[in-house]
Copies of this chain bind each other. A is one copy, B any other.
Amino acid sequence: MRNIKLELSYDGTDFHGWQRQPDHRTVQQVLEEAIEQLTGVCPATNASGRTDAGVHALGQVVHFYTASRHPPEVFVKALNAMLPDDVRIRGAWEMPQSFHATLDARAKLYRYVVDNHPFADPFQRRYSYHVHQQLDVAAMHRAAQSLRGRHDFHSFETQWPNRTSSVRTITHIAVNRMNDFVWIDVEADGFLYNMVRSISGTILLVGKGRWPEERVAEALKAEDRREAGPTAPPQGLFLVRVQY
């Protein structure tokens, strides 16, 4: 069996997230159906991680085993011809047998996009969270730096069964303005459930002037979800890239 790695983009708007679910359209389902159409066998795909309903991906990574002899570039062309137009394969590679998209991911970069124009851009409403109040981006960036490094991020996760540890390492966190849009970039060795969305919801409180900057560090130390800010909505979140 060959081990094929795919990199894919998807518009999460019309998906109930990555993971297969009965009665819901998911990215994993449409991808596995396309692979089955091409190879004749329904594969078991593994992604670098789940994305939630409404969350987008620019560079999600998936792998699967197949007996198919198609070269990788044929997977790209043929799967793109079969997939619905809200998912695109950006590349395919044959990997060593041992490669695993979930277990081998060393780091992931997520971007949370805020539309900070006084009136929401109709063309960006599916791809950003609108905050009409002018945000203090410098204060958000400074406050976010307290989350860098290795910490227990229990204050920034939504409870999820089977989770053994909430310790993760954020290697990069930055808040930048691009005209009317504010980008919150977070790179870490792994992410807890709703981690970027609760970090974003929290530092947005700083940006609006409702929280002093120091309170983000205090919320982290509390290791209590109730001490952090709200979970920002899914449509602003993008999985940008995965590093192996």
- Which A positions have Cβ atoms within 8 angstroms of B? 9-11, 56, 76, 80, 85-90, 119-123, 125, 127
Q: Which residues of B contact A123 (CB under 8 A)?
A: 9, 11, 56, 127
**Chain copies in the assembly?**
2
Name the residue of chain B whose CB is nearest to the CB of A127.
B123
- Closest Cβ–Cβ distance, residue A182 to chain B (whole Å): 18
- Closest Cβ–Cβ distance, residue A241 to chain B (whole Å): 16
- Closest Cβ–Cβ distance, residue A156 to chain B (whole Å): 27
Contact assessment for B120 and A85 in the assembled complex, using a CB-CB cutoff below 8 Å: yes
Contact assessment for A86 and B127 in the assembled complex, using a CB-CB cutoff below 8 Å: no
Most buried by B among A10, A90, A123: A123
Name the residue of chain B whose CB is nearest to the CB of A8.
B122
Partner of A122, one of B87, B119, B121, B122: B87
Given A88-B119, A88-B122, 5 more A-B residue pairs with CB atoms under 8 Å apart are A9-B122, A10-B122, A11-B125, A56-B123, A85-B122
